[in-house]
Chain A
Amino acid sequence: MGIASRTFHGMAQQRTVIEPGTADLHYWRDLWTYRGLFWFLAWRDILVRYKQTVIGIAWSVLRPLLTLGAMALIGWLFDSHIPEGVPRLILVAAATIPWTFFSSAMSEASGSLIANSNLLTKVYFPRLIVPASTIIVCLIDFLVSFVILLVLMGAYRFAPSSHILFLPLFLLLALITALGMGVFIAALNVKYRDFRYVVPFMVQFGLYISPVAFSSSDVFNHPGLPSAVKWIYAMNPMVGVIDGFRWCLLGGASPIHLPGFLLSVAISLLLLVIGLRYFRKMERSFADVI
């Protein structure tokens, strides 16, 4: 048969066996097979976002700028600690950027399955592609706001430290955190449709308990805080991400509190594992429930 040699997402003619539970067997292989679809969905989201060019780009510039302004103002009002030689705006910006990335990636991923329900009921592909691809748009937004940060640094004549080379690692950590929580909530959203009301609250609350307006040293070095509170504070995975970003951009002026940082990272990884496991468990019934 002539068509047999044709490739399908890079695969030759295949033999597929469908049985209860087979989806589990070839899951990661399938995910790789469907990587083309992943990029197409990401490409679609990017196109749609930047289709109305003015609003699209303005939004990705305006959102971090507004958060930055508000957070810097709050930090200034409460006179939070600023390391020697670092302008307040840059200290806050180094946190606003990863925070905005995390919060938008997490919310987009959470709602993605519901938003694409027509796809889920009409075609087969590993469902993980949907929440994962939404994060790509947020990465583009991240790059835009990173440029803003560089401009800001230029304006203040502030040179980033050489630690900046490690920035991609911390971006990856932010991505892992957003993906872990995003897929978990996305799966919950399919079954418990009112869960979507919880997400904006989580984002809002997260902003208060993450070191955006202040810095982690305010907490860790606070003489009056019981150490239990400090540990609970460090369990917030975004503490690790933001502290990492500041360490990369501001260098020695913003040292990492290592035990707290390791706890944050561990929680991020745990969230990813839990999120993926729950997603995989629920995935089989998505098409029946959604």
Chain B
Amino acid sequence: MAEEMIRVEGLSKSYTLQHRKAERYTALRDVITEGARGLFRSKGDAVSSEEFFALRDVSFSVKAGDRLGIIGRNGAGKSTLLKVLSRITEPTKGRITLNGRVASLLEVGTGFHPELSGRENIYLNGAILGMGRAEINAKFDEIVAFAEVERFLDTPVKRYSSGMYVRLAFAVAAHLEPEILVVDEVLAVGDSAFQKKCLGKMEDVAGQGRTILFVSHNMETVLRLCDRALLLDGGRVAQDGPTEAVIRSYLNTGSGANSERTWKDHPRPPGGHGVQLRSVRVHDAQGRGKATFEVSERVGITMEYEVLTQGDVFTHSFNFHNEEGLNIFNTHDTVSPLRKSPRTKGIWSTTMWIQEHLLAEGIVTVGAAIIKVEPFTIYFQERDAVSFTVIDPMRGDSARGDYTLGFPGAVRPLCAWETRPLP
């Protein structure tokens, strides 16, 4: 039975929101003018304040060697939880017991000073993250080699490229040896080759039996790195369990993706006098609405629209973007016979199918449009109509094969391969 490293009991954190002021800090001049105004004001219209709970009664425990992923929408309380765990801010209620040294990595390069050289910043950043001088000395060469900045050690970091800067910063952090490592989304920086290296390093850390708490929006990374996940929603623990199950329910509840939208009762639906959009939905081969698809599934997208002008001729179009904003592909109807014939007034439905094994893992955003090719006219173009998530359950039947690490590329086609010995 592994030792319990973190125990969180009934943890709450609240902030008092004052509705009068937009700034976080107060200006002395405001206090003085408020005070003066207060003299002439009845008690009734005093500054209204409200308690906002960033965390509500959160409880969980983590054992030695666990790798816990913390997921949830923006504002669900993930960052607050990490801040309380790293003692940056105090909880309002509850209790946390930590068995061992905690290092938190809420930002890459905390305390880096632009005027100082790479060498000096390694020492400074190390000290800020909790390393002693002897410990930094011992790891110095390793850090430099990992960051690949040997030649620029004595150059002020303000002259570093952003890539070098991030590499150096991560390298220092990666060589911390705490029993508990708390990491917030730091992998969102650097080029993909370096991200892979960072991830590899974190897997090493986890492999050594250390405990990792990892907050990320990138489900693929969480899935790969963590064996357990905690889903936060509105400051509460919504689910706690095996990573795959938690991610699946997070994505399916629509917290992550919005797979269906209607404009039926919308005062101003996309479109104009000719055609108006009524709805767009993502569904499986059987027509069941769905937000998460395996790589090996067919994805159907159906749009409903109303033709308001008798006899118009037009075609339908969808475009697809991934999380990085890359336009994966566009498609418009070049096959259905109706595309060239005049339509009658009324409500129509058009379905497009994306074949199996085309999309890569991640969130796909769908844009819907109706256009006329000759002369070119856009009736409407709804950029972020719906979105869905593609996951790879890693059964070995996808383009990944048995490879489970980072797998870049905007698409995941199953390609044909031929190998033969030459005579």
A contact set with B: CB distance below 8 Å = 1, 3-4, 6-10, 13-23, 36-37, 40, 43-44, 47-48, 51, 116, 118-125, 190-195, 284, 287-290
Residues of B within 8 A of A16 (CB): 87, 96-98, 102
- Whether A124 touches B209, Cβ cut-off 8 Å, given contacts A44-B124, A118-B111, A193-B25, is no
Contact among B113, B115, B179 for A4, CB-based, below 8 A:
B179
Which residues of B have CB within 8 Å of A193?
A: 25-27
Q: Which B-chain residue is minimally distant from A6 (CB atoms)?
A: B177
Beyond A3-B208, A20-B90, 13 extra complex contacts between A and B, CB < 8 Å: A16-B98, A17-B97, A18-B97, A18-B98, A19-B96, A47-B115, A47-B116, A118-B107, A119-B110, A122-B107, A123-B86, A124-B104, A289-B24
B182 CB, min distance to chain A CBs, angstroms: 11
Find out whether the CB atom of A13 lies under 8 angstroms from the CB atom of B83: no
| Given A13-B101, A122-B107, A1-B86 contact (CB < 8 Å) | no
B202 adjacent to chain A (CB < 8 Å) = no
Query: Which single member of A9, A284, A288 contacts B132 (CB below 8 Å)?
Result: A9
B96 touches A1 (CB 8 A): no
Which A-chain residue is minimally distant from B102 (CB atoms)? A16
Chain A: which residue is nearest B98 at the CB level?
A16
Q: How large is the interface on B (under 10, 10 to 19, 20 to 34, 35 or more residues)?
A: 35 or more
Interface pairs (10), CB distance under 8 Å: A4-B179, A9-B132, A16-B97, A16-B98, A17-B96, A18-B96, A20-B93, A44-B116, A119-B110, A122-B107
A179 to B115 CA separation, bound complex (whole angstroms): 27
User: Which residues of B (50-80) have their CB < 8 Å from a CB of A?
Assistant: 64
Whether the Cβ atoms of A3 and B210 lie closer than 8 Å is yes
B185 to chain A, nearest CB (A): 13
Partner of A47, one of B15, B120, B133: B120
Shortest A52–chain B CB gap in Å is 8
Whether A8 pairs with B132 at a CB distance below 8 angstroms is yes
Give Cα A194–Cα B25 distance, bound, in whole angstroms. Answer: 10
Whether B100 is near chain A, meaning CB under 8 Å from some CB there, is yes
Give chain A residues whose Cβ lies under 8 Å from the Cβ of B135.
6
Asked if B128 CB lies within 8 Å of chain A CBs, one says yes
Is B95 in contact with A17, judged by CB distance below 8 angstroms? yes
Q: Are B128 and A119 in contact (CB under 8 A)?
A: yes
Return the CB mask of B197-238 against A: 1 if under 8 Å, else 0. 000000000001110000000000000000000000000000
Given contacts A18-B96, A194-B27, contact A8 B101 (CB under 8 A): yes
Find the B residue at minimum CB distance from A288: B89
Q: Are A51 and B115 in contact, with the CB atoms below 8 A?
A: yes
Could you mark each residue 103-131 of chain B with 1 if its beta carbon is under 8 Å from any beta carbon of chain A, else 0? 01011001101011000100110011110
Contact at A289–B132, with CB atoms within 8 Å? no
Chain A CB within 10 A, most for which of B86, B110, B132: B132
Per the bound structure, the CA–CA distance linking A185 and B283 in Å amounts to 61
Q: Are B83 and A287 in contact (CB under 8 A)?
A: yes
| CB nearest neighbor in A for B134 | A7
Choose from B99, B128, B209, B210 the contact partner of A40 (Cβ within 8 Å).
B128
B41 within 8 Å of A (CB atoms): no
Partner of B179, one of A13, A19, A120, A121: A13
Bound Cα distance from A120 to B93, whole angstroms: 22
- Whether a CB of chain A sits under 8 angstroms from the CB of B415 is no
Report A-chain residues with C-beta under 8 Å of the C-beta of B101. Answer: 6, 8, 13-14
